[in-house]
Each structure stands twice: as C-alpha cells, then as structure tokens.
Amino acid sequence: MCRLISFSALIYTLILASVPFTTQFSIETLRPGHPRLLASDQDIARIRQLIRTDPAAKAVYDRLNADAARILTQPPVEYKLIGPRLLDKSRTALGRVYTLALLYRLDGNTAFLARAVAEMKAAAGFPDWNPSHFLDVAEMTHAFAIGYDWLYRDLSKEQRDWIRAAIVVKGLEPALGFYENRRGWVLATHNWNQVCNGGIMLGALAIAEDEPARAGRVLRAAVDSIPRAMASYAPDGGWNEGPGYWDYATRYNVAFLAGLESAIGTDLGLSSLPGFDRAGEFRVYFSSPAGRTFNYADAGDALNPAECTLWLARRFKQPVYAWQQLALLASRPRAHALDLVWWPASTQSPEAAGWPLHKVYKGVQTAFFRGSWTDPNTMWAAAKGGDNKANHSPLDLGSFVLDSQGVRWALDFGPDDYNLPAYFGNKRWSYYRLRTEAHNTVLIDNENQDPKAEARIVHQEITPQRASVTFDLAAAYPGKLASHERTVTLDGGRAFIVRDQITAPQPVDVLWGMVTDAEVRCDGAVALLSKAGKSLTVRLAAPAGAHLETVSTQPPLPQRQNEGTRKLVVRLPAKVRQVTIEVVMTGGVS
C-alpha cells in the first residue's frame, strides 16, 4: 500500500509539473450576479432558437417536458437511507432540479419554479445530507447550487436565505472538515474525488459573494485536490474503474471544469492535464455496435447517454464525441438538461474522422477490437489486463467480452448488491460476481487471483485486418504459475481467438471459462451457442484430449442468482505443468 501511494504521488507531481496549471486565483474574479453556473442567459436564448430549428434538440426538449410533468405528480424527496446511503435521494433531487430549473428559464412556467423550490425545501429540512457517505452530500449540494443559481432572480429573499444556509451547513462545512484534515476523498485518485470536489465546488461558487471566505477556502482546496483523480486519465484517456464509473467520475469532472469556466472565466488549465482530452475517445471505444459496454469494475453493460461528452467535444474540438451522444439521445429514453446547454454545432462519425477500428489503452491495459464502424452486426471484442487493486475491480485479470451479430455472447455479470455485508470490506472476495470464477479468464486450482496482482500488455500487433494483444497474467497466481500469457485476436472481423500459454512449477488444475446467457450445445471440442435467432460457434483448437462443457453460475442466496446464464468451460483431462489452450469463436455455424 505504501508503494502504491508513493507511486500515485509521483505521477500526480509529474503531471502538475507538465501543464500550464495554477491554483493561484482570487474569489474576486467571480462573475457578478446570477446565473453564473454552466448556463448563462445567452445560452438560454440560444437553446430557445435551437429547439425551434433543430428537430433532434426539440425531441430532447419534449422529453424533458414530459419528465417535468411526471415530477409534478410526485412527492418531493424524503430522508430515507438505502443501506448506508442517501445517494438515491440526492440523485433524484439533482435530476429534478436540473429539469425543472432549465424548463422554467426557457418558458417561465411557474409550476416548475414552485416544484423546484418545494424539492429543495424538503431536502433543506433533512437532519443532514449523510456526510458518512460523502457522495450523498456532494450530489445534494450540486442540486442546491443549480437551483439557487439558475432560479436566483425569481426566488424570494427568504428562499435564497434558507437555500444558502443549507448549502453552507449541510454541504460546505462538512466538506471543509475533510479538506482541512486532508483525508478520505480529498486524497483519492478515483471517482469519489471528482464527485465530491465537483458537487461541493459548485455549491461554493453559487453562494461565493455572500460567503467569500468560506467559498474561497473550499475552492482553493478543491482545485488542489482534483488533479489527483485527473492523473488517472493519463497517459491516454483510459479509466481503470470501468465504464460505469468513467461516466460518474467524468460527469463530475466536467461539471467542475465547466463550473469554474462559467463562474471565474477559466478552468485554470485543469482541462489540459494529460489524457483528459482523450477521455471521450475512451468512451467511444468501450462502446459496442450492439449498444453495450465492456462493463468491468462493478458496471452494468447498458450504454446510456452522458451529457458531459458534449462539453468534451466542444472543449477538445472532437465532434466524434458529440456524434455518439446524439446517436444515443435518438435511441434512448434518457436526456439531461445539460444536453441542450452543451448542444453541438456539428458532429462527425468515427469512420469519417478516420479513427482506427482497434485501440489499445496502455494506461489501463485494455484493448478494443471491431470489424467495422458502420455495420451493427460486426464482431466487437474487448479484453483487459489491469490491476486487481483498482477501485471497484473484481478479480478479473485477462477477462474479455464479445459481441457479434448485434448479440452479446461473452458477458460480464457486473456488480452484485452493494448492500451485501462487507461488499467493499473483508467479504468482498467471497461473493461470486467478484471472484475469478465468475469472469472470462483462466481459473487455477479453483482459487481466486491475487487481489494485489496486475497484468500488463506485453505485445501487440494491430492492422486494419487483424488485431492482437498479449497480456502477461503470471502475477495473478504467484507461486502457482511460472508463466501465463493470454493472446486475444480479432481476425478480419470474423473470428475471435483466445490463446493461453501456461507453465507451472507443479501440476495445477486449469479451467478456461466464458460466461454466456446463450443456449449452449456442446459436442466434444465444439459448442454451438444460440441466442435471439443468431448463433456463435466455439471451437477448441487445442489441446488435444480436452473438451467443452457448461457449469452453473448460480451462487448462494442472498447473492444475485444470474438466471438464464451458464459458463462454457474447457475441461482438461488432468492437472498439467504446461498447456496451450486455444479457443476460436466465429459467427454462425462453421
């Protein structure tokens, strides 16, 4: 642990030394008046014109109005913990305030104003915003910051006073305890850092003219803290917490930067930190043509819109980021007020932009392969080495997922219930979905991988026709394996090949595995997978004498039961000291 902290500190120091970044600013540079956060009056005028002239933007506007109409029929949030978290209520309040406040600014519907105030009044009356789980505080502070700033001119003095008091007492003051003691999320290098800094900083910016000393302390501490997490995007934009927490972390990182830019006229050079310009690229590559993600690290595999990509597209002049977001908005029910605020002037497809089909991210030791940018039925695969110590990581070095013909064949279960006992504590590696056996990798002697192990890419060959990477997985089983290299290959967009070369000092039981929710029919060295009227052929090319079979994926209750799934495995006839396992997957019957 000491080695890891020292390494992170070194990276943080080197990154700060390499960019035009400064924490030297004064609260006196604050833009006077309101609104000052994210959406100016000029933005509102532009959005009004946009929804008159752009059908896609008008569709988002209509969706937000439908959401607002539903909100009017629902009671405000109540103080109710789910497990140790108030987070569900904070997020509900945040989404409601954004939607209602934007629509009120666009159209002047006083019902939306009144309902946004009622939402904040309810949450202001909570005994606290649950500082023991500080994400809850940060997201509620974010909600109050937007409500206060965007609705300021139409709030009464009394309403401004109690909203501002709630931000101070329930948001900024608890945060200052963390900042001034330099503990917890302040020093983190993962999503907690960005979410907590982002929500709290927006609260400070919203009320800074009335609380200049307190706001100044918060802002200086937050600007000092957030580069620690932004260092995790270096060098190439990858994110080791997986796509779910990429979304959460990057949304708040963007809110932080956009909030600074709108309120004081600069993001202080933070957006120039290495790798951050490629964060949106990483999202495009971890998204499959079937609308799923490579959902490692406690993530679901659904690909949903993320409004922060529109800000990234604008900031880094990358219209492909905006292309993906607008495509998702056209096909998904979810929309956000900031989609309209950051609506792009133009988009461009990855193919038109000349992006390569395949991409390797050395920062997080992950590779993404695809046969085409335009064919929704093309084969797409992703595989990882990575770091079992990474936040939210299961023990899954070497795992992969596979889509073909618009179907996911090799899947990752994603998380179990965070409220299971000690899910993030001493029982974590006892839960099936977090154990090595639940992932698409090799299991040795039916044991978990080492929770401290890392696996790196040691070789790659990338051409438009064939892409291949090799991971060194030997550290996953220290003492048990002398060597283990896994090579994954996409050949012409038609075949996905997984080859494992393993040597051990003593005979070990080796079990190759792939989780699927397809129907499976095994016949010796060949298995036919069927799903949604499509098929995938899995052929065991080596070793001789092994065969394919399926095993159960059902864990004990109260864990999630993984209904409709099974694990296709390569069964060897005996323990081995040396073996090569090669599995070839092709779409349709071969």
Tell me which amino acid residue 506 is: Q
The 8 Å CB, 24+ separation contacts for 61-65 are: 61/106, 61/340, 63/333, 63/335, 64/99, 64/102, 64/103, 64/335, 64/337, 64/340, 65/103
CA distances from 517 to 411, 514, 530, 533, 585 (A): 8, 10, 9, 13, 16
- Give the pLDDT of residue 356: 97
pTM of the model: 0.94
Dihedral angle computed from the Cα positions of residues 148, 152, 157 and 161, in that order, rounded to the nearest 10 degrees:
20
pLDDT of residue 28: 74
Domain ranges for the chain = 2-22+40-341, 359-587
- Domain 2-22+40-341: CATH superfamily is Chondroitin AC/alginate lyase (1.50.10.100)
Which two tokens mark 357? 């089909």
518-535 burial, b if ≥16 CB within 10 A, otherwise e? bebebeebebbbebeebb
Nearest to 64 by CA among 42, 91, 97, 21: 97
Count the residues in the chain: 590
Local confidence pLDDT in tens for the 590 residues of the chain: 333 333 344 444 444 444 444 444 566 789 999 999 999 999 999 999 999 999 999 999 999 999 999 999 999 999 999 999 999 999 999 999 999 999 999 999 999 999 999 999 999 999 999 999 999 999 999 999 999 999 999 999 999 999 999 999 999 999 999 999 999 999 999 999 999 999 999 999 999 999 999 999 999 999 999 999 999 999 999 999 999 999 999 999 999 999 999 999 999 999 999 999 999 999 999 999 999 999 999 999 999 999 999 999 999 999 999 999 999 999 999 999 999 999 999 999 999 999 999 999 999 999 999 999 999 999 999 999 999 999 999 999 999 999 999 999 999 999 999 999 999 999 999 999 999 999 999 999 999 999 999 999 999 999 988 999 999 999 999 999 999 999 999 998 899 999 999 999 999 999 999 999 999 999 999 999 999 999 999 999 999 999 999 999 999 999 999 999 999 999 999 999 999 999 999 986 43
Order across the sheet with 400-404: list the strands. 359-361, 366-370, 380-384, 400-404, 407-410
Q: Which fold has domain 359-587?
A: Beta-galactosidase; Chain A, domain 5 (2.70.98)
Tokens representing residue 41 in the block: 């009056």
470, 485 contact by CB (below 8 A): yes
Say if residues 256 and 198 touch (Cβ distance below 8 Å).
yes
Q: What is the pLDDT of residue 589?
A: 46
**Nearest-angstrom CA–CA distance, 194 and 207:** 20
Tokens standing for residue 347? 């988009």
